[in-house]
Structure formats: structure tokens, C-alpha cells
Amino acid sequence: MLAEIDVAIIGAGVIGLATAREIAQQKKEIFVFEKNRTFGLETSSRNSEVIHAGIYYPEDSLKAKLCVEGKNLLYDLCDRHNIACKKCGKIIVAADENDINWLEELYKQGRKNGVDDLVLLSRTQVKKLEPSIEARAGLLSPSSGIFNSHNLLKFLYSQAREKGAEFVFGTEVIGIERASAKYKVHIRDRDGISAFVAPVVVNCAGLNSDRMAELAGIDIAKSGYELHYCKGEYFSLDSKYRNLISRLIYPTPEQAGHGIHWRQALDGRVLLGPSAHYVEAIDYSVDETYKQYFYSSAKRFLPFVELEDLAPESAGIRPKLQGPGDEFRDFIITHEEKAGFPGLINLIGIESPGLTAALAIARYVSRMMS
Ligand SMILES: Cc1cc2nc3c(=O)[nH]c(=O)nc-3n(C[C@H](O)[C@H](O)[C@H](O)COP(=O)(O)OP(=O)(O)OC[C@H]3O[C@@H](n4cnc5c(N)ncnc54)[C@H](O)[C@@H]3O)c2cc1C
């Protein structure tokens, strides 16, 4: 006899955890399957820990709407539950005339998305706010910030458990099979292969989410669900530069990421990154050959920094729907009823601002289920 549950969630990153916590409020029997030994060991713990304001994304996109909603929910949650967090603000800096035009475009885009506190800054105003930074102009986003994502993950995990969600670690989902109105979820753990039956499957498998959709029977090439991996590396600046800046400093956006930015971590260290380059496989080592690139990028705005001030720090991998040179792609958060898969909810391409938007994404998924 197969074990029956109400909801199977695949993946215990920030999206699976937030979703489990949210839908556990509907008192369903929820199992979260995670292939790693514990929660949050992949993209959710390999990122910039930035609370994004919601400036960059096209109006009415899920990325824009869920980022703005998620930002407010996240600040409120951090405040109420003592999760370390700092609304330090961010300045997007311009190095030349071309960049200044970009800033003006970003200003307009942010306003359209409901980010109504943005301020265009002159060179002198940037200098006054951030004396170490040399820039032609800037765009100040007061509602951007940093927070401790590990504490958020821990909090979501313990709340989801308190509300009754079960977590099954060290358990990989290896098959999703239609069984009349339900799904048979095949799993592999250290005891071998077994299965659960659930009418609802929520695919929060991050870098593997396209594969999970394929396992369920979706034609991922036809649906545009295939993921590309885009690696982001970080370097840290020597400890003599602790507290060098007090806000997040971003250059104008590059195509695949938001550009190498500088942030002061909650512990005072200055971190540079992430870079953005497409890779074939998941490998979290930091490639030191990028050091020169990081150095040149930093030097444009922090002219006193030297190459030897940089040390490799960490890396993460973005689950991107757009390949190199492709146009903007939004998050895919879809109930696959119309494709003939009632009860299957796919979350694919949850790259940045997925961390900021996590609580709003969880609400969005919960609404799809009611
Ligand atoms: C370099 C970088 C910087 C970023 N910076 C920011 C930022 O500053 N602010 C922001 O808002 N966002 C940022 N993001 C985006 C953010 O980190 C992600 O959107 C978010 O962490 C995605 O969470 P997730 O739960 O979807 O994925 P993950 O954290 O990857 O979780 C997916 C989970 O699914 C599990 N899984 C996969 N396959 C299976 C299977 N078959 N069976 C069982 N379990 C499985 C995995 O082990 C994993 O634990 C950044 C991302 C990167 C890469």
C-alpha cells in the first residue's frame, strides 16, 4: 500500500520552505522532499543576500510584482522575528554618459514598478553619501537592503515544521507518474527506491526544476522550460577596507546579471560580485582567473583598490530561462492544468530576485491551490 499525502513539494530551498510554511496554514499533509542532507544548501545559500527594490524588471512581470510585494513582506518578517537585516539603500553608479542614460531609464522603470522612492544623484551627491566612490552620477534606491538569508531559511524551516509540514532529507525525486487524478512521486533514499501518492505536486527544484517538469511528462523544449546555468562568483576585499561603503553599490546592469556590485556584508566585510557567465555543469568552485576582471570592474569606481586586495570568496549558479543574448524571461509559476496536468505546479527559472520575492511567491502558489 502506497503512502498518500496531500501535497508533495520538491526542493527545500527558500522557495520550497516558504511554500511549505504558507500552505501548511491550510492544514494539509505536506511532505517536502530534498535530495541534500538538509535545507538550503544550493542557490538559496549562494547569493548576494540583497533585498531588491524591484527596479529592473518589466512592468507587470511576475519578477516586478512579486519582488515589490516580497520586499515588504520580508522586511516585516525580519523585523518581527529578529532576522538580521539592514535597509541600507543602494546606489546604482554611472561611469560615463551612456551609463547616465541608463540610470534615467532605470528611474522610469522603477517608478512604473511601484518603486516610488528613487532619487537621481549628481556626482557631488554620490560623493557626499559615499566618499570612497568615484562616479559620474547615481540612482539612489533607499528601500534596497541586505539580510541574513541563513537565518531566514532556518526560520521558514522551523515554522513550516511547527505547522505540520514533514521534511524528508537525503531523498531525491526520480520520477513523477500520473496515477488517475493523482501523481505517484518516486523517490530514492539510502534505503532504496519507494513512492508516495499525492494529488498536488509543487516543483521547487531550483536548478533541476526543468528536469522535474520533464519527469512529470511536460515537453520542456516546446514549453520553453529548459534552463541554462549562469554562474556568479564573488571575491572579498581585504579587511583593511571594512566599512568602506555604507550602501550597496551597483554599476549599471550587464546583460545576464545586475553587474559586479559591492556590498558591505552584515559583518562589515566588503564583497564584490557576482559575475555572470554561462556554464554547462554545477560546480561551486571559484575560478581565480576572474580576479583580474573583478579588479578592473572595482577599480572604475574604487580607484585606490589593488589586485592583491581581492580574495576568492564563493559562487552560486543562476537557473536561467534565457540563454546568452536572449531577451528577458519572467519567472514561470504555473499550475499545469491547461497542459493536462491538474495539481502540478511548476516553478522554473526562479533566479534573482527569487530570495526577495520568496514570501510573495509562496502566497502566489498558495492562491493557485485554493
Ligand atoms: C549568484 C546569485 C546571486 C543572487 N543574489 C540574489 C539576491 O541578492 N537577492 C535575491 O532576491 N535573489 C538573489 N539570487 C536568487 C536567489 O538566490 C534564488 O532565486 C533563490 O535562492 C531560489 O531558491 P530555490 O528554492 O528556487 O532554489 P534552491 O535554493 O536551489 O533550492 C532548490 C532545492 O531543490 C533541491 N532539489 C533539486 N532537485 C531535486 C530532486 N530531484 N529531489 C529532491 N530535491 C531536489 C535542491 O537540492 C535544492 O535544495 C541570486 C542567485 C544567484 C545564483
Cα four-point dihedral sign 111, 70, 313, 325: negative
From the centroid of its chain, how far is CA 92? 19
Cα four-point dihedral sign 367, 219, 33, 68: negative
Question: What is the atom index within ligand 1 of the atom nearest the CA of 232?
Answer: 1
**Which of 352, 361, 364, 365 is the best mutation target for the ligand 1 pocket, counting ligand atoms within 8 Å of the beta carbon and taking the most?**
352
- Low-confidence residues of the chain, pLDDT below 50? 255
Question: What is the atom index within ligand 1 of the atom nearest the CA of 357?
Answer: 11
- What are the tens digits of pLDDT across the range 132-157? 999 999 999 999 999 999 999 999 99
**Is the whole model's pTM more than 0.85, yes or no?**
yes
Q: What whole-number distance in Å separates Cα of residue 286 and Cα of residue 292?
A: 13
How many CB atoms sit inside 10 A of residue 259's CB? 18
Residue 352 in contact with ligand 1 by CB distance below 6 A: yes
Taking CA atoms only, the protein residue closest to ligand 1 atom 2 is: 47
Residue 13 in contact with ligand 1 by CB distance below 6 A: yes
Q: What whole-number distance in Å separates Cα of residue 284 and Cα of residue 271?
A: 17
Burial, 268: exposed, middle or buried (Cβ in 10 Å; 0-12, 13-18, 19+)? exposed
Query: Which pLDDT belongs to residue 252?
Result: 80
DSSP state of 243: T
Cα-to-centroid distance, 34 and ligand 1 (Å): 12
Q: What share of the chain is helix, strand, coil (3-state, %, to 5)?
A: 30, 30, 40
Report the chain's terminal Cα–Cα distance, integer Å: 28
Cα-to-centroid distance, 97 and ligand 1 (Å): 36
Cell numbers 570592474: residue: 297
**Which of 44, 62, 157 is the best mutation target for the ligand 1 pocket, counting ligand atoms within 8 Å of the beta carbon and taking the most?**
44
Cα-to-centroid distance, 44 and ligand 1 (Å): 4
Going by C-alpha positions, the residue among 229, 255, 231 that lies closest to residue 320 is 229
Instruction: Report CA-CA distances (Å) from 205 to 9, 242, 333, 343.
Output: 9, 36, 12, 16
Query: Which pLDDT belongs to residue 258?
Result: 58
Cα-to-centroid distance, 137 and ligand 1 (Å): 33
Question: What is the atom index within ligand 1 of the atom nearest the CA of 11?
Answer: 34
- What are the tens digits of pLDDT across the range 291-333? 999 999 888 888 899 999 999 999 999 999 999 999 999 999 9
Query: Which pLDDT belongs to residue 98?
Result: 86
Triad 310, 94, 265: Cα angle to 5°: 40
DSSP E strand boundaries for 180-252: 182-189, 192-198, 200-203, 228-237, 248-251
Residue 207 in contact with ligand 1 by CB distance below 6 A: yes
Residue 62 in contact with ligand 1 by CB distance below 6 A: no
Cα-to-centroid distance, 14 and ligand 1 (Å): 7
Query: Which pLDDT belongs to residue 32?
Result: 98
Cα-to-centroid distance, 118 and ligand 1 (Å): 28
